[in-house]
Structure 1
Amino acid sequence: MRIDAIFTDLDAYTLDPTRPRAQKIGVWGNRIIGFDDELDGIDADRVESLGGATVLPGFNDVHCHTTWFGLTLASVDVTALPGGLPDVYAALEKAAATTPSGEWIEATGYAHRDYDGQYPDLARLDEITGDRPLFMRQTSGHAAIANTEAMRRAGILEPDFEEPVGGKVVRDAAGHPTGLIEETAQTLVQDLIRPYSLDTVVDALDLATAYYAKEGITSFGECGIAYGWIGHSPIEISGYLRAREEGKLRARAQLMPQADGLHPIAANSADGFGIGLDAGLRTGLGDDLISIGPVKFFMDGALSGETAALRENYAGKDHPGYLQDDAEVLRQQILDTYASGWSLAVHAIGDAAVDAAIANIVEAQKRYGRRAVPNRIEHAALVHDEHLATLAEHGIVVTPQAAFADGIGDGMNASLGPARRHLIYRAKSFVDAGVPMAGSSDRPCADGNVLRGIEAFVTRRTRGGDVMGSAAESLSVDEAIAAYTIEAAKASGQGADKGTLSRGKLADFVALETHPRNVDASKIAQIPVKATVLGGNYTHQTP
């Protein structure tokens, strides 16, 4: 018998209790065909030595924004510049010098907490950019900064301008726009730039997934495509197909359409169809490389910008954030979508939003049953003890981002105050309660390196030396690895094909210099990735 490849000289931690460790892995037809003694007497077209590396199942980031991340790699980066706002202005001046008159300047990575809570001065931005419109996204993605030219083109400066539902144009005491636009109001400016061309989308996926390969990522969930302020083109799926055809997609993608695109479908009345996408497209379509996942809904905003919907006011503030629409409107949209065969991925960060998300998902499941691809709460940033048993009973997945600890952990602690901070991005409580919990980064809103995410699950260390929320929510190294492998696969409805190194599963794995248990927890992110293998083929390899 002859197979495609045998990987040797490795120490595999399979996460499969029937065979916890292995020293050789055989691959045939993109899947694992056997281990160790099962490969005796079998020849292979390729024999690949991994140089004694520690091998784990391929990493799976179930909530990220890959096209967006790829675009940021080609944008002006203003992330935590050491010289403060003068450095931001300097970066924009450099971009303006090479941008033709009237053309857009796009920047990304701004976080006011990195700049002592300050936002750029609109008059200074206008002086730098002139007649070039500016759109500068905040790291969270839930707000952006626009110059006067961009706001003029978007109609924001018109005397009869009305703010969109679920968004806000922030104004000064005199009622003048400051340049800060929140949530759905961003769409007013973005729609002047979008839709991006398929060439642009494919180039972004090429850059982004090459980056993923260097970090051991073999699967990801693209959380919110095609529609709304988070999408890039109404034909964004075609961009993924083209990237695949051109060899520019280096990881398996589960695509989650943004709910803004859903609309009534004229199906037969006997089908009980609510709202959906044309041709009956729904969760479950696709193959091992590209598949359609849940629909992404926004219940609220972000803690970093204090737009997430809380039960009580933010610490020291006179407001509790807000939902993206009327609560009953959101509920009916979710029920109608689920009735049409879609699984749900509901963005809910504040505890008021989490209350509504859980109630809506439970109601949908009671009416129409569970789905092969589980329903999820994206972020689940403020979950009370009273919610844990309900989440576990109904199999609702949560996707908290431990990676937020470094960039915005201190700010979130301050926004919630000492009495509520223990609720922030819980992890151990989910694991102990039996709540399905998958690892994710929300990249580019946070560092998407999975090893850094594992480290953050273990240490929860913030940039200021504190811990995000409570130290009691820290995971063990093994629990954190499971979140990005076994649990991530289950959360995507793909546990039969990935998540462990088992015979018959996809041959996706990462080779590390050492096991994360073997280093100090604060050094996990520094472990070198020696190779990444997707379906038995290298997507990344170091000498």
Structure 2
Amino acid sequence: MLIRNAEIWATGAPGICRDVRVGDTRIEAVGALSPRPGERVIDARGAALLPGLHDHHIHLAATAAARASLDCGPPAVCDESALRQALRRAGGSGWLRATGYHESVAGMLRREDLDGWLPERPLRIQHRSGRMWFLNSRALDLLLENAAPPSGLERDAGGWTGRLFDEDAWLRRVLAGSPPDLTALGRDLSRYGVTGVTDMSPNNNAETVAWLASARQDGFAPQVVIAGTRELAEVAMPPGLALGPVKIHLHEAALPDLDAQIALARRAHAQGRGLAIHCTTEVELVFALALLREAGPVRGDRIEHAGIAPDALVAQIAELGLQVVSQPAFIAERGDQYRKGVASEDWPHLYRLRAFRKAGVVLAAGSDAPYGTIDPWAAMRAACTRRTREGHVIGPAESLDPEQALDLFLADPLDLARQRRVEPGAAADLCLLDRPWNEAREQLDGAMVRATISAGRLVHERPVLAHDSIDEPPVTRRAHADTAAR
């Protein structure tokens, strides 16, 4: 495949265009190139050609499942009345799965609440954090008919509350659910120019690898780095899959034994793998830094989220040489809830970006989907504006410029310190926009993605539109003429 007249991201000089030849899995050449007989040619018309975007933190199974679930959290559902109506409007008679719930809607739900709204069918509602389910009595009865209650099922003086904590594995086993189909999710990721993802589910294991390998054979285009258990190191990775870090999911209300986590960290490091530690609160971050300081940090150890990071902890992250994978879109999507539920003195410390860059910390970004949007362009806009849905700006000093925001999704997923570029020998993972970067940077909109190439294969292409016809600027013509003359 030959992409002609493209503004190459690697040049760092907007307006300088080249041709790019794409091989089976690698970029073969960049320059003034002539088409080969029978070679497919895409005329970029002076538009920007970027490396394919990579989502560095996503939960694929949960994201695919959420798409078949009822959305019952902000902004779609913001109060008890709206929640009640949404549940009653849902069709069907079997299990109803709802996601995205936040306690700002109607508090911490109990089964009696759900019974009053939907008594006749089994209902489970997932908290936005992903760590908690609310079950009605019908759901509880069905689950406990087939299995003993797990330790994470809450009980008080009144009996089962219907709150289930950190028991997704138990739920999957009792419900005997099959992994969801990833086809539609893969199409949408490709539509945004995403050519790779890192699945950050902490319980990923050999079964996960087999499921993802099958999904890729069935057409899921993005390549996958799989984080998860330490045992993953013993699993052979098929083409398109790669081994990622060991995931530790901290929860402030029930922190694990520190010595046990230090031992786990040392065993992971002995495998040549870094740690990826979930830290959304300041307490979790303090625990993670103590853990890594004692275990001895290695290149590739990373903090996921760094949701609240005061200056002193940013300095410690830099001192230890740790990396951070943030979720800029959370400021846009959840910022208004943060302003209600987070102490105002911590607002400047929420999902920081520029502070990490200034401290020399390697910084990348992910969606954390389904708990955030899969659209990386929305995350880039949020990184630049720091603006909530209601128009408030949180932590304006943490904003990035569009190039820095884009770089969050261009890091090498196996080495976040390395930025990928469009150059000979690089992986043939590409995102072609429909306009030059100096125009694209003003909008940062996924609708600008004209074509996506993953591992040398065209996985997304939309029809050429009228506004895609870009007059070739004089500097572009000079670049081609100069290259041909040499």
Instruction: Report what 2:226 is aligned to.
Output: 255
Moved more, 214-223 or 18-27: 18-27
Give how far 1:21 is off. Answer: 4.6
Q: 2:431 aligns with which of 510, 526, 543?
A: 510
Say whether residues 1:169 and 2:169 are aligned partners: no
Say whether residues 1:493 and 2:478 are aligned partners: no
The amino acid of 1:111's aligned partner reads H
Give how far 1:220 is off. Answer: 0.7
Instruction: Report what 2:379 is aligned to.
Output: 453
Say whether residues 1:22 and 2:4 are aligned partners: no
Q: Distance in 2 between matches of 1:505 and 1:52?
A: 21
- SS of the equivalent of 1:511 reads strand
Runs of at least 4 residues off by over 6 Å:
none
Decide whether aligned partners of structure 1 residues 494 and 45 sit closer, same or farther in structure 2, where only a CA change above 3 A counts. Answer: farther
The amino acid of 2:244's aligned partner reads G
Give how far 1:512 is off. Answer: 2.0
Q: Distance in 1 between matches of 2:315 and 2:192?
A: 35
The amino acid of 1:240's aligned partner reads L
Counterparts of residues 175-186 of structure 1 (less than 5 Å): 178-182=161-165, 184-185=166-167
Deviations along 1:296-328, one digit per CA (max 9) or x if unpaired, are 11122xxxxxxxx3xxxxxxxxxxxx2442333
Give how far 1:127 is off. Answer: 4.7
Q: 1:105 aligns with which of 96, 116, 119?
A: 96
Decide whether aligned partners of structure 1 residues 377 and 219 sit closer, same or farther in structure 2, where only a CA change above 3 A counts. Answer: same
Deviations along 1:207-234, one digit per CA (max 9) or x if unpaired, are 2111101111111100016x3xxx6x86
- SS of the equivalent of 1:224 reads coil
Q: Distance in 2 between matches of 1:515 and 1:137?
A: 42
Counterparts of residues 260-271 of structure 1 (less than 5 Å): none
Instruction: Report what 2:270 is aligned to.
Output: 339
Q: Is the 8 A contact 2:14 2:438 kept in 1?
A: no
Say whether residues 1:277 and 2:223 are aligned partners: no
Q: 2:452 aligns with which of 515, 519, 532?
A: 532
Give how far 1:480 is off. Answer: 0.7
The amino acid of 1:441's aligned partner reads S
- SS of the equivalent of 1:55 reads strand
Say whether residues 1:146 and 2:135 are aligned partners: yes
Give how far 1:244 is off. Answer: 1.9
Q: Which runs of 5 or more structure 1 residues have no equivalent in the other structure?
A: 260-275, 301-308, 310-321
Q: Is the 8 A contact 2:365 2:409 kept in 1?
A: yes
Say whether residues 1:211 and 2:188 are aligned partners: yes
- SS of the equivalent of 2:40 reads strand
Higher relative contact order (CA 8 A, sep 6+): 2
Decide whether aligned partners of structure 1 residues 105 and 387 sit closer, same or farther in structure 2, where only a CA change above 3 A counts. Answer: same
- SS of the equivalent of 1:88 reads helix
The sequence identity of aligned pairs, in percent, is 24
Decide whether aligned partners of structure 1 residues 99 and 375 sit closer, same or farther in structure 2, where only a CA change above 3 A counts. Answer: same
Give how far 1:249 is off. Answer: 1.5
- SS of the equivalent of 2:100 reads strand
Q: Distance in 1 between matches of 2:370 and 2:290?
A: 30
Decide whether aligned partners of structure 1 residues 177 and 347 sit closer, same or farther in structure 2, where only a CA change above 3 A counts. Answer: same
Say whether residues 1:193 and 2:175 are aligned partners: yes
Instruction: Report what 1:61 is aligned to.
Output: 55
Q: Is the 8 A contact 1:53 1:530 kept in 2?
A: no
Q: Distance in 1 between matches of 2:333 and 2:158?
A: 31
Say whether residues 1:292 and 2:218 are aligned partners: no
Give how far 1:363 is off. Answer: 3.3
Give how far 1:28 is off. Answer: 1.6
Q: Is the 8 A contact 2:403 2:441 kept in 1?
A: no
Q: Is the 8 A contact 1:403 1:448 kept in 2?
A: no
Decide whether aligned partners of structure 1 residues 417 and 155 sit closer, same or farther in structure 2, where only a CA change above 3 A counts. Answer: same
TM value normalised by structure 1 = 0.76
Instruction: Report what 2:363 is aligned to.
Output: 437
- SS of the equivalent of 2:209 reads helix
Moved more, 81-90 or 341-350: 81-90
Give how far 1:502 is off. Answer: 1.4
Deviations along 1:436-489, one digit per CA (max 9) or x if unpaired, are 111111011011201101101111111222123x1101111111111110xx31
The amino acid of 2:415's aligned partner reads G
Instruction: Report what 1:239 is aligned to.
Output: 211
Deviations along 1:270-311, one digit per CA (max 9) or x if unpaired, are xxxxxx428x517xx6366211111111122xxxxxxxx3xx
Say whether residues 1:483 and 2:408 are aligned partners: yes
Instruction: Report what 2:42 is aligned to.
Output: 48
Deviations along 1:382-425, one digit per CA (max 9) or x if unpaired, are 22322334433443110111110122112223333122221111
The amino acid of 2:234's aligned partner reads L
Instruction: Report what 1:313 is aligned to.
Output: none
Q: Is the 8 A contact 1:459 1:467 kept in 2?
A: yes
Q: Distance in 1 between matches of 2:281 and 2:399?
A: 21
TM value normalised by structure 2 = 0.84
- SS of the equivalent of 1:220 reads strand
Q: Distance in 1 between matches of 2:305 and 2:155?
A: 25
Instruction: Report what 2:483 is aligned to.
Output: none
The amino acid of 1:461's aligned partner reads R
- SS of the equivalent of 2:377 reads helix
Q: Is the 8 A contact 1:8 1:25 kept in 2?
A: yes
Q: Which runs of 5 or more structure 2 residues have no equivalent in the other structure?
A: 464-486
Deviations along 1:124-180, one digit per CA (max 9) or x if unpaired, are 532554463322212331322211233345559x9x97854xxx7386xx7555544
Say whether residues 1:134 and 2:123 are aligned partners: yes
Q: Is the 8 A contact 2:249 2:278 kept in 1?
A: yes
Decide whether aligned partners of structure 1 residues 410 and 20 sit closer, same or farther in structure 2, where only a CA change above 3 A counts. Answer: same
Decide whether aligned partners of structure 1 residues 536 and 68 sit closer, same or farther in structure 2, where only a CA change above 3 A counts. Answer: same
Q: Distance in 1 between matches of 2:328 and 2:50?
A: 20
- SS of the equivalent of 1:294 reads strand
